[in-house]
Amino acid sequence: MEVKLHDIGEGMTEAEIVHYFVQPGDAVVVDQPLVEVQTDKMTAELPAPANGTIEDVLVKVGETIKVGTTVLSMITTSQPTSAVSEEKESTIEQQWQAKTFRIEKRKQPILASPYTRKMAREQGVNIEEIKGTGPAGRIVDEDVYAYVQKEKESLLQENSPTQQVMKQEKEIHIIPFKGRRKQIAKKMKQSLHTIAHCSHFEEVDVTNVLQWKEQSKQAGKNVSLTAYFVKAVSLALKDYPIFNATLNEEKEQIEVQTSHHIGLATNTEEGVIVPVLKHVEHKSLLTIQAEMRALTEKALHHTLSREEITGGSFTISNVGPLQGSIGATPIIHHPQTGIMAFHKTKKRPAVVEDEIVIRSMMNVSMTFDHRVADGATAVQFTNRLVELIEHPNLLTLELV
């Protein structure tokens, strides 16, 4: 009896021979899987139409054949010796032709070569559990090797003495996701889902402002760099007020704030909190320093009032003192338009008047709402801020 590739539905015209479950000489029973084939839409098993013995395999693994091609031949248990036997065999053949094959349909067919499939079977791996890294998600040999190696490492780790000890202990430490942490997450999600974030970066030579700070300290006026940055941001906002605005989508208008209420991102044990320094445009550096220090102390001791954490129009984040960041893409404090981060200062070679000198350099990153402002304006705003920081004497010219 010939076992042929029949139309197994889905409008197929050809299929690839993936794997044989039997070899010549094997005894088989009716409905026993004989061969696995792969079409462009499904994988199917061709079962034995009757009891018997496999006589010959006619198509090699990996070959693609048309519907109607004989795949293998088999000798049935009862050889036809009369018209009755011939009629019985004819009946079996008709049943075989009309038989519904056991088909495993998948939403997305598994793409893999016959050799890769064989490799997976030899390793005892279910190929459906492997994620392909080849074109169109095709599973390649390396994917099988990686999967097997990962499983072995997992077993070794689970059975290691250290893991056995750890299993006796609590496997996870629960941190309640509530309170300030949950509120921070809520605000961050709202900001990212609402505002069209866009970030750009710049470097600043802070050598002169560090010298100015040291001179002020020697004169008995100890002012931090953060206080200077806050004032410089305020002066830059005076020239580019679009970044001191909020977008009112309901009224379809951009509302520019006339006062500079600068938020100060402050790291606490329970997460970042942003106290707001109000009316910076009217305050001196010494006043900014004193009020900023008071707000930071309140933030660390959780004593800020509602008035002191609301109403911000622009936010800054000075992560330089942490000595670990050279750049970031800060998330805007909704519904503000901009946020600027100041990163760590590091001495490195720089070109000044065509000479290489050692300067104290700092990176800054600016994130803005691209719905409200354009990139060119953001660059101009940052350039103005850099100018004020690199030339501290300009600050005095802006004070009224």
* Residue 280 near residue 261, CB atoms below 8 Å: yes
pTM, 2 dp: 0.57
Residue with tokens 């008995």: 220
- 2-105 shares its CATH topology with 181-398: no
Of the residues 19, 334, 370, 391, which is catalytic? 370
Q: Who contacts 241 (Cβ-Cβ below 8 Å, separation ≥6)?
A: 256, 257
Task: Give the pLDDT of residue 105.
Answer: 43
Distance (Å, whole) CA 321 – CA 343: 8
Active site residue 370: yes
Closest to 334 measured CA to CA, from 134, 200, 193: 193
Each residue's pLDDT tens digit in the chain (400 positions)? 899 888 765 556 788 888 898 999 999 998 888 988 876 556 678 888 889 999 999 999 888 888 889 999 999 875 544 444 455 445 545 544 444 444 444 445 678 777 788 888 888 888 888 888 887 788 888 888 888 888 877 777 766 666 555 555 557 778 878 767 777 888 899 899 999 999 999 999 999 999 999 998 998 888 999 999 999 999 999 999 999 999 999 999 999 999 999 999 998 887 889 999 999 999 999 999 999 999 999 988 888 898 999 999 999 999 877 766 888 999 999 999 999 999 999 999 999 889 999 999 999 999 999 999 999 999 999 999 999 999 998 887 776 5
In 177-265, which ranges are E strands? 197-205, 245-248, 253-256, 262-264
Task: Give the pLDDT of residue 128.
Answer: 83
* Residue 120 near residue 130, CB atoms below 8 Å: yes
Closest to 38 measured CA to CA, from 20, 17, 22: 17
CATH code 2.40.50.100 for 2-105: yes
Distance (Å, whole) CA 111 – CA 109: 6
- Sorted by where each begins, the domain ranges of the chain are 2-105, 114-168, 181-398
Distance (Å, whole) CA 238 – CA 102: 75
Task: Kindly report the CATH class assigned to 181-398.
Answer: alpha beta
Task: Give the pLDDT of residue 104.
Answer: 43
Tell how far CA 258 is from the center of its chain: 39
Task: Give the pLDDT of residue 319.
Answer: 87
Q: Identify the CATH number of the domain defined by range 114-168.
A: 4.10.320.10
Active site residue 334: no
Of the residues 7, 40, 239, 374, which is catalytic? 374
